Structure 1
Amino acid sequence: MSQSLSMTGNLSKHKATTLSGVWLFIFIELLVFAGLFLLYGVYRYKNGVAFDLAAGELSVTSGVLNTIIILAGSLCMAYSSVAIRKGNKMATLFWLLTTLFIGFMFLVNRYFEWKGRIDYGLFPGSEDLARLGHGDVLFFGLYFFMTGLHAVHLIVGFIGLINVTSRVNNNTLGSKNYSLLEATGIYWHLATLIWVLIFPLFYLL
């Protein structure tokens, strides 16, 4: 009896430690992106016309598609959390693999959008971009940096998802110790939130 209580206590402490670490990381990440959003706001205020013209070079359709994709990924991630709490291994694996597939589709779409801008010479360091003016250089510099940083976060999330999926499949992660899946889900939702904030700044405003 006492051994069982001890194990339960250790699991609770491990879960609390894992989630606390994730929330601390999320707080730091939000501070980083808050600084970038503030920088964007200042540059946009000073270069409003140039930013508007530069934004016209981006595909709103592509941005909307990626927004739908990443929101769908977050929904699937939430379903995986529900499934593992219920002890449904197959459903958990299904939703995790679906999330991975959706995340991959986001990155594929991001690649083709970047390629399109690069093919037109609209990338940092390009002579074609430099000729357009300082405002355009700032816009596309922020565009590539912020969407690139977001893509890096998504790739890190991929690694976490692959690890979680493997552990669920090997029965080392289940209904009694799903804190790692929860932590990975929180991180994935963070990536979704960041994109939802990035999308209107570059595509709609």
Structure 2
Amino acid sequence: MTDAALSHGHSDPHHLRGLQAASDQTGPAPKRIVTGYGFWIFLLSDIVMFACFFAAYAVLAGATNGGPTGAQLFDWRNVAIETVLLLFSSFTCGIASIAATVGSRRWFQLAMLATAVLGVCFLGLEFREFADMIARDAGPTRSAFLSAFFTLVGCHGVHVTIGLLWLLTMMAQVFAKGFRADICRRLLCFSLFWHALDIIWVAIFSMVYLLGSRA
């Protein structure tokens, strides 16, 4: 190839754009991707903790020490309402994420407020369930089964409480500063956290309440 051809090839705009694209692909990943990847690692560590609680519950589910069993304690109506509330809150959280993507503050605040209300109602029903069980002498110290139950379900409730505090913080930050890049990254992490709580609750509903009531 002649020098003229080489010179022409390197001055070709398509060739230059190809070199730029190749350079971009080998550069550092965007902060949004790095943040999401790092938060997924945190969520996996949290899921490992819940897996340990699930394993402990599976082993101790029959250790009632002569006390009440899950079939005698669980209120199906209460559990069904809790499940609907939390699953619907995942839907409203998704609406909030879409609103943040399109830059709509009004819809974002409304969707996040709906998510917060649903989460508070879920916690209220869970607290009422715990209070009713304790009033019936079925507290966490009554048996190994109840200790495992309160630990597993109570830990999930603590996570929901943390999620609600995080949600209110995000609402305040968007209200004050808008959809800045750093705030959007935090919203991404919050959305992943909230959806993970729904997945864990589905596992609790299936393993604790469904199998417990059958037993």
Q: TM-score range by the shorter chain?
A: 0.7 to 0.9
Report what 2:48 is aligned to.
31
Q: Give the match's secondary structure for 1:178.
A: helix
Residue ranges of structure 1 left out of the alignment (5+ in a row): 1-11, 130-136
Whole-angstrom distance in 2 between the partners of 1:181 and 1:197? 25
Does residue 1:78 correspond to 2:94, yes or no? yes
Query: How has the CA–CA distance of structure 1 residues 20 and 176 changed in structure 2, closer, same or farther, with 3 Å as cutoff?
Result: closer
Listed as ranges, the gaps of 5+ residues in structure 2 are 1-28
Choose which of 160, 164, 171 in structure 2 pairs with 1:165: 171
Partners of 1:114 and 1:53 lie apart in 2 by: 14
Bigger drift between 158-167 and 71-80 goes to 158-167
Please give the secondary structure, in 2, of the residue aligned with 1:170. helix
Q: So what's the TM-score if we normalise by structure 2?
A: 0.77
The alignment yields a C-alpha RMSD, in angstroms, of: 2.3
Q: Structure 2 vs 1, CA of residues 41 and 198 (structure 1 numbering), >3 Å: closer, same or farther? A: same
1:52 and 1:199 map into 2 onto residues whose CA distance is: 19
Deviation (angstroms), 1:61: 1.1
Whether 2:20 is the aligned partner of 1:21: answer no
Matches within 5 A, 1:22-171: 22-44=39-61, 47=63, 53-125=69-141, 129=142, 137-171=143-177
The answer to which of 90-99 and 174-183 deviates more is 174-183
The answer as to whether partners of 1:124 and 1:140 remain within 8 angstroms in 2 is: yes
- Percent identity between the two aligned chains: 24
Normalising by structure 1, what TM-score? 0.81
Q: How many residues were matched structurally? A: 183
CA distance in 2, matches of 1:158, 1:47: 34
Q: Which of 182, 202, 205 is the aligned partner of 2:208?
A: 202
Amino acid paired to 1:199 = F
AA of the residue aligned to 1:36: F
